[in-house]
Structure 1
Amino acid sequence: MRISALLIDDDPILRSGMKGLLSMVAPEVEIVAEAEDVQSGIAAIEKWKPQLIFLDIQLNDGTGFDVLEHFTQSTTRLESQVVFITAHEQYAVKAFRFSALDYLLKPVDPDDLRSVIEKVKKSQDDATGISHVELLLENIKRQTNSFKRIALTNSDGIHLFEIADIIRCESEDNYTTFYIRNNKPVLVSRTLKEFEELLRDHGFVRIHQSHLINLTFLKSYVKKNGGYVIMADQTHLPISQRNKERLQELITKTL
């Protein structure tokens, strides 16, 4: 299965290295064009309409975000999947994760590259989409702990939710179900641990191997029968022994 790709990066050495890595770990990916700055990147996307774009954040005349922002205001629809290439910038990485976008850290690891390509192939019919891009740009403009929305992607499509409306998350193997105020549950193929790390600064706490809750929707903490919580949606959730002390500390802080 051939995948046409565009490589946008201002470093010719990195572009050469990426092409070499791709030839080794993902020969089905063909770099049809390269660009080194915002304007040439936009022109290449419009000309080649690649299935996949590898996009560096820092470019000579701006950023990769400027490339994407152009398409939020253009009549030309972005039909490509986008994978960001970035140095280890914790803030940017967190924004990618909230927006459900793929990224690679420099120096690019061959195993990470192969993993991203496999994800791209599984969702080849799904472009990154303006909704993903707009959420990313919104998140990038915010402070790290003030993200307001999260993108959840599954076989039904892309779902954007206010973080404040998430009541709880429940895991089953490598899947997580989100229970959201005034919405039906949403199942995504990502682990609860990923969302625990992503949401811990937003009032969420892990109370059990299978449960992550939003303290805003905690109604009662019951100590009998081993300990459990009652949530605003009337669910009773168990508390593991190892998480009881942490939960009590957080409840005390909110009083």
Structure 2
Amino acid sequence: MPTCVLIDDENRSIDTLKTIIENFLDEDLKILGTANSAKEGYQLILKTKPQIVFLDIEMPHQTGFDMLELFEKIDFEVIFTTGFDQYAITAIKFSALDYLLKPINIGELQLAVTKAVERFNSKSSANQIQNLLDNIKSPKDSTNKIPLPVMNGLEMVQVGQIVNCEASQDYTIITLAGGKQVLVSRSIKYFEELLTDYNFFRTHHSHLVNKEYIKKYVKGEGGYVITESGKEIPVSRRKKPEFLNWLKH
């Protein structure tokens, strides 16, 4: 039976999560203990060695991220629980890890636990957690890595190596510096939300481009940009004024 611990500074949040796990979870999950701070949580994990840790991000004195930094080796899965904190959520998404917004939705909890158990059994997410901690230390750094979900797993690439993203139905084609293309099972909107802060702009409903690789803008009804490799990327008429302003600044 999978095991877990709950770490949150609010007893009410712990009680709610505990009730949902005990009464509504399809998959049996044994709760080994609870803690109300990062310090207590660290000791609890060392003592009980759970497979899954439900971890609140914002706690007094130390955050959930601070607690994770204390471990030399992370051999457990993490499901973050948080109120709405866009920066934290973006960082978590950037690392392809799971989070639950409070108040917690039962269906989302069930899905997150199923995925966490699968990751634990395959030992696949230790690098994702380390990637998250590295990104937290240096937000908006183009050397930060982002995991791209591909057919056989995750491919880690530096944000600064992404030239452009192009929608392909429910998928996105990522073009990297050097010309390599990666087909990713995520929508272009997903990447727009993650990469806008890294100097990317969605020029068209099907295109997202990295400013660092724009060589030239050619005028027209909407116009188009030419990347360093010579690829032409359209700019929609509706996006043109905002795009030109972004390009200048």
Q: CA deviation at 1:85?
A: 1.0
What does 1:153-164 align with in structure 2 at a 5 Å threshold? 153-154=148-149, 155-164=151-160
Partner SS state of residue 213, structure 1 = strand
The equivalent of 2:29 in structure 1 is: 30
Comparing 179-188 with 209-218, greater Cα deviation is found at 179-188
Q: CA deviation at 1:42?
A: 3.1
CA separation in 2, counterparts of 1:27 and 1:135?
Answer: 30
Q: Does 2:77 correspond to 1:120?
A: no
The equivalent of 1:53 in structure 2 is: 53
CA separation in 1, counterparts of 2:47 and 2:148?
Answer: 28
The equivalent of 1:100 in structure 2 is: 96
Moved over 6 A (4+): none
The equivalent of 1:210 in structure 2 is: 206
- Residue 196 of structure 1 aligns with an amino acid whose one-letter code is E
The equivalent of 1:137 in structure 2 is: 133
Q: Does 2:206 correspond to 1:194?
A: no
Q: CA RMSD in A?
A: 2.9
1:151 to 136, 146, 154: 146
1:81 to 77, 80, 102: 77
CA separation in 2, counterparts of 1:35 and 1:86?
Answer: 16
- The TM-score, its normalising length taken from structure 1, stands at 0.80
The equivalent of 1:234 in structure 2 is: 230
**What number of residue pairs does the alignment pair up?**
247
Q: CA deviation at 1:206?
A: 0.8
CA separation in 2, counterparts of 1:16 and 1:147?
Answer: 40
2:175 to 175, 179, 202: 179
The equivalent of 1:12 in structure 2 is: 11
Q: CA deviation at 1:168?
A: 0.6
CA separation in 2, counterparts of 1:235 and 1:81?
Answer: 41
Q: CA deviation at 1:194?
A: 2.0
* CA deviations over 1:128-164 (Å, ceiling 9, x no partner): 6443223322333345x55741321425444443322
Residues 1:156 and 1:237: Cα distance change in structure 2 (over 3 Å): same
Q: CA deviation at 1:29?
A: 4.2
Partner SS state of residue 242, structure 1 = coil
Structure 1: which 5+ runs fail to align? none
The equivalent of 1:70 in structure 2 is: 70
Q: Does 2:217 correspond to 1:221?
A: yes
2:207–2:233 Cα contact (<8 Å) kept: yes
Partner SS state of residue 62, structure 1 = coil
